[in-house]
Amino acid sequence: MRMIKRTTPVRIISLGFALAILAGSGLLMLPCSLKAGVHLRYIDALYTATSAVCVTGLIAVDAGDTFTPLGQFFLAVMIQVGGLGVTAIGAGIILAIGRKINLKGRILIREAMNLDSGKGMIRFIRAVFFTTILIESIGAILSFFVFSRNYPPLKALGISIFHSIAAFNNSGFDILGGMQNLIPYRDDVFLNLVTCALIFFGGIGFLVICELVQTRLHWNKMSMHARVVLSVSFVLTFGGMILLKMTEDFSWLVAFFHSVSARTAGFSTYPLGDFHTPGLLVMMVLMFIGASPGSTAGGIKTSTVFVLIQGIKSAATNHTEKVFHYAIPKGAFRKASVITILGGSIVFVCTYLLSILEPQIPLTDLLFESVSAFGTVGLSTGITTQLCTASKLLCIVVMYIGRLGPLTIFSIWHYTLGERVRYPEGNISIG
C-alpha cells in the first residue's frame, strides 16, 4: 500500500493495463474458453488479450472460430475495460459499492480521462458509465435487426451485443468466424450506418458527448475543444472518403465506412489485401491520426493534428495561434510536436524491425501493420497470422504504447516538475 501511494499516477495506470492484459490472456487459455479441438498457443492468447485491452482488433486467431461463448464474453469484457480504461472501471466499482474515492484515486482518474481538473469528477464518471450503457444498448438493439436475419435469435443477440461493444470501444473484433469481419454486410446500409455511428461517438470522447447533450447541439455554446474535435473529425471522415473513392473501385458506402473505421475502429467491409497502394496510404494517414482525446480510440489524436497545423500556420504567417475566438494554450504546439515525433519514431522502428524479422513480407504490408498496431486500429492486409513469435511480441509492445500514448510511456521512468537551475540561451540555426 505504501509503495502504491509513492507511485506516480502514470505508472499505476500503465501497470493496470499490463495486469489486465496478463489476466485476460490467462482467461483465454482456459479450456472452457476454447472450442473443442482448438489448440491455442500462449503467444496468440497474449496477442489477442493485448489487442482486446488496447482496443485494437488485430487478430492472430479468429475469435468466432477459436473461442466458446464464454471465451467471447471474456473478450468483450477485456474490450470494455480497455475502452473505458482500467482506472474508470475501478472508480465505477468503488462508487457502486458505496465507497469514496480518495485524493490519489481522483488524480488517477484525471490523468486517465484527460480531465483539466478534479471538479465534478464523480458526476463525470457516472455520466461515462451511463452514456456507455445507453449507446451500446441502442447499438445492440439496432444491430440485432440485421444479425437476426442470418442467425438464431439467441446467437444473433450475442453477436449484436459483442458487435456494439466492439464498435463503440473502437475495437475491430468480430465473432462471425472465417476471418470475414463485416465483409458479408458490405451492402447493408443500415448496419454500416449503425456501426459508423457507434464508432463516431466512441471516438469523439466522453467530454464531447457530454457537451453535445448539455449544449443541445448548439455550436456557439460548445467549448473550443469540442468544436475542434468535431470539425477535424468531419474533415477527416469526408476527406478520407473522397480520397478512398478516388483510389479504389468500390461504392461510396464502402469508402465512407472505411474512412470512419480507419480512425482506430478496425472493422472492414472490403478485403484490405485488394487495396491499391494509394488507398493503403490514405488509410495509414487516417490510422496514424486516430480519434480524439478522452475517447476509446488511439492514434496521435485529432486535436494534436489541429494544433500542429495551427502552429505551422502561425510560424509561416507570424500570427498568433487562435481558433473559434480562443487563443491556443501556450505549450500546446510543443506537446503536439513531441507526440507526433514519438509516434512516427515508434512506427519507423517497428517497421524496421518487422522488415528484419519478416523479410518475405512486402514493406507496404509491414508499414500498414505497424501503423495499425500503434493507432490501435486492428486493420490488416492479412499478414497478422503469418507473423513469427518475435514479430507478435513486437506488435504487442507497440499496441500497448499506442493505447497508453507514447508521451505517457516515455514519462513513466523519469518526470520532474522542472529544474531549478536556468542556463543562458544559446544560438542555434534552424531550417
Task: Write down the pLDDT at residue 82.
Answer: 85
Reduced to 3 states, what is the DSSP secondary structure of residue 374? Answer: helix
Distance of alpha carbon 269 from alpha carbon 119, whole angstroms: 42
pLDDT in the model for residue 325: 78
Of 228, 223, 164, 230, nearest to 199 (Cα)? Answer: 164
Going by the DSSP 8-state scheme, the letter that residue 322 receives in this structure is: E
Check residue 418 and give its pLDDT: 55
Q: What is the number of helices (H) and of strands (E) in the chain?
A: 19, 2
- Any idea how long the chain is? 431
Instruction: Specify the pLDDT at position 213.
Output: 86
Q: Using one digit for the tens of pLDDT, what is the confidence trace for 170-220?
A: 888 989 988 888 989 999 999 999 999 999 998 888 888 888 888 888 888
pLDDT of residue 143: 95
Predicted local distance difference test score (pLDDT) of residue 294: 75
H or E element, residue 237: helix 224-247
The residues facing 67 across adjacent strands are 34
pLDDT for the residue 115: 63
Express each pLDDT in 292-348 by its tens digit: 887 777 888 898 999 999 888 888 887 777 787 788 888 888 888 988 999 999 999
Q: Are 337 and 263 in contact (CB under 8 A)?
A: no
Share of the chain above pLDDT 70, in %: 85
Backbone angles phi, psi at 275, to 5 degrees: -70, 150
**Interstrand relation of 326-327 and 322-323 (parallel, antiparallel or unpaired):** antiparallel
Confirm if 296 and 89 have CB atoms less than 8 A apart: no
Write down the H helix ranges in 85-205. 86-96, 103-112, 121-147, 153-168, 189-204
* Residues in the chain, pLDDT under 50: 1
Cell of 314: 502561425
d(CA 172, CA 66): 16
Q: What is the DSSP letter of 8?
A: -
Q: How far is it, in rounded angstroms, from Cα 209 to Cα 91?
A: 20
Cell representation of residue 198? 457507434
